[in-house]
Chain A
Amino acid sequence: MQNNSVGIVVPQDFSFGQTDEDALCLDCGKKLKYVNIRYETYGKLDSSSSNAILILHALSGDAHVAGFHSENDRKPGWWDEMVGPGKSFDTNKYFIVCSNIIGGCSGSTGPRSINPDTGKCYNMDFPVITINDMVKAQHRLMVHLGIKKWLAVAGGSMGGMQAIEWTISYPDAVDSVIAIATTSRLSPQSIAFDWVGREAIMSDPKWLEGNYDDIAPEDGLATARMLAHITYLSDESMYQKFGRNLQESDKYSFNFHRDFAVESYLEHQGQRFVERFDANSYLYITRAMDYFDVSARAGGDLAKAFSEVKSKFLVVSFSSDWLFLPKQSKEIVRALLSGKIDVTYCDIASVYGHDAFLLEAVTLGKLISDFTRNRYLEVQND
């Protein structure tokens, strides 16, 4: 274990919604009862509770941002490079919180949780949730933790969507936002990819209308993941990483088993994914992303949707990201500027495509640490 790691962390649970009044009111009109939120925290909340930062995970992420779950645990949290003592999100200085989204499959209530009304898994009886619903659940956790205002809410991809949602739904609860490789509304291209991914799952005979037991629709989920994974890379990064290299031989096999290194890589990604992710959760989360359009609540006018926002923004895109394009970040920037909201925007030159938000740790890390440090100083002086 490196000495700049947060070390061993213990995941925690927060439950609410035991009564009808306390249930989470969802955008679809239904109520979600007996909600559990799995979360982890790192660092200490200061006496004025002005050093709290909420990190929001992307589609396949979870509450485990940094550190390890046990002595023998070899794989650190998903953003361990960024979160720890002396790192960009410095746990010596800040109190960091990350929770698994509702609808997820890593501890928080989702389609594979037990429906209290039936005593069985929700599966497709789970209500369709939105990004806004995820944020409402996170707000309950915030109240539970005794935090009045986040110094920053930060996330990449779908995490960035939640970060933006926070500033609109709870304008007084967020000092600043770090929105990375994200968008204010999902593009038709992304909706299309989500659709094909879900089709792969739902046409897997093992899916059984969502009512699978131990035998999950792994083929469908793996296909969905492989498709999605292509959208996280870039043409250039694939050339660099795989070229046209063959995996096991120097000759074509003249059959349809995998020949190319890139095929082998995707297969591996698909297999690894089904070990840790649930197919129904994948359906629900991608749907939540499809429905995300901040401007919709203001008749398509993004600037108007931001009119109540009080947070300062750091918006970051990556030059080779073709899933959430730099121009989508620029749309956010333009809308914020027209409302005279303070914003800093950087389009980091990178070949890694959408995945750059997890890989360009040096440049991104410097932006995050400096931006957050200056916000923290300003909040302290106020």
Chain B
Amino acid sequence: MIEHAIENLSKRPDLLKIAEILPENVRILDLGCGDGSLLKVLKKRKNITGLGVEISEESILECVGNGVHVIHADLDEGLRVFADKSFDFVILSQTIQNLQNPDLVLDEMVRVGHKCIISILNIGYCMARLQLTLWGRMPITPSLPMKWYNTPNIHLSTIWDFKCLCRERGIEILQEIPLGQKNNLLAKLWPNIFAPTCVFIVSKQA
């Protein structure tokens, strides 16, 4: 059923990018790993030893079905079960906006991983900006499809906001990869306005 996992991945440009930039044979922790598709594909394609973390029992069952190791835990309670620098990479893909304490989780990630890869949904994206400015309504976009009252996205940020948080926390941004439509030059030039999502590689020396 690897085909199914690849199909799941292809719907998410940020996951494809993360899969592309990860080196082979590393040990990774995928926070909020869902059904474990990314870990399953990485194990097969790049011989990556992966472990997922999920809060949902249903997702845990799916991961086990996919042959992926997973730990049942609430990210907002920290990553206490993981030792310092015990993974080459810690991944958090489009999940930081769902957390109660994104800042604390970020601290925990850089403690546990040598490097961290984080993808964010950019609320500063032009489509979102326009809706708020022109109509005075909370934005609804393809990547943010829900209404303000029923969205799990309680801590949205712009690309710029995220970079400020990293600076405040002494976290170094090693790489910033804005993702737009195919060959979108504007997203590369002005990511905070034209990139709906962005992938960051960050780290903090112990």
Question: Which A residues have a C-beta under 8 Å from some C-beta of B?
Answer: 312, 314, 330, 333-334, 337-338, 340, 342-349, 363, 366-367, 370-371, 374, 377-378
Question: In the docked arrangement, what's the CA distance between A363 and B60, Å?
Answer: 10
Question: Are A344 and B69 in touch, CB under 8 angstroms?
Answer: yes
Question: Are B57 and A334 in touch, CB under 8 angstroms?
Answer: no
Contacts of A337 in B (CB 8 A): 51, 71, 81-83, 86
Question: Are A349 and B86 in touch, CB under 8 angstroms?
Answer: no
Task: Tell me the number of A-to-B contacts counted with CB atoms below 8 Å.
Answer: 58
Question: Are B86 and A340 in touch, CB under 8 angstroms?
Answer: yes
A78 to B: closest C-beta gap in Å: 24
Q: Tell me if B106 is interfacial: C-beta within 8 Å of chain A.
A: no
Q: Would you list which residues of chain B between 60 and 94 have a CB under 8 Å from chain A? A: 60-61, 63-65, 67, 69-73, 80-83, 86
Contacts of B73 in A (CB 8 A): 345
Partner of A345 from the list B61, B67, B72, B82 (CB cut-off 8 Å) is B72
B73 to A: closest C-beta gap in Å: 8
Partner of A367 from the list B64, B67, B86 (CB cut-off 8 Å) is B64
Ranked 7 nearest A-B pairs via Cβ: A374-B67, A334-B81, A370-B64, A370-B65, A346-B60, A338-B83, A346-B72
- Of chain B, the residue at the smallest CB distance from A341 is B69
Q: Supply 12 further A-B pairs (C-beta < 8 A) apart from A330-B81, A342-B69.
A: A337-B81, A337-B82, A337-B86, A344-B64, A344-B71, A345-B70, A346-B72, A347-B72, A363-B57, A367-B60, A367-B64, A370-B67
User: Which of A312, A314, A337 has its CB near the most chain B CB atoms (within 10 A)?
Assistant: A337
Contacts of A349 in B (CB 8 A): 57
A173 to B: closest C-beta gap in Å: 22
User: Which of B27, B57, B71 has its CB near the most chain A CB atoms (within 10 A)?
Assistant: B71
B85 to A: closest C-beta gap in Å: 12
Contacts of A367 in B (CB 8 A): 60-61, 64
Contacts of B57 in A (CB 8 A): 346-349, 363
Q: Would you list which residues of chain B between 36 and 64 have a CB under 8 Å from chain A? A: 51, 57, 60-61, 63-64
Contacts of A346 in B (CB 8 A): 57, 60-61, 64, 70, 72
Question: In the docked arrangement, what's the CA distance between A345 and B81, Å?
Answer: 11
A44 to B: closest C-beta gap in Å: 25
26 pairs, CB–CB < 8 Å, chain A vs chain B: A314-B64, A333-B71, A333-B81, A334-B80, A334-B81, A337-B86, A342-B69, A343-B71, A344-B60, A344-B63, A344-B69, A345-B73, A346-B61, A346-B64, A346-B70, A348-B57, A349-B57, A363-B61, A367-B60, A367-B61, A367-B64, A370-B61, A370-B65, A370-B67, A371-B64, A378-B67
B34 to A: closest C-beta gap in Å: 15
A46 to B: closest C-beta gap in Å: 21
Question: Are A344 and B81 in touch, CB under 8 angstroms?
Answer: no
- Of chain A, the residue at the smallest CB distance from B57 is A349
- Of chain B, the residue at the smallest CB distance from A333 is B81
Question: In the docked arrangement, what's the CA distance between A363 and B72, Å?
Answer: 14
Question: In the docked arrangement, what's the CA distance between A2 and B51, Å?
Answer: 39
- Of chain A, the residue at the smallest CB distance from B82 is A337
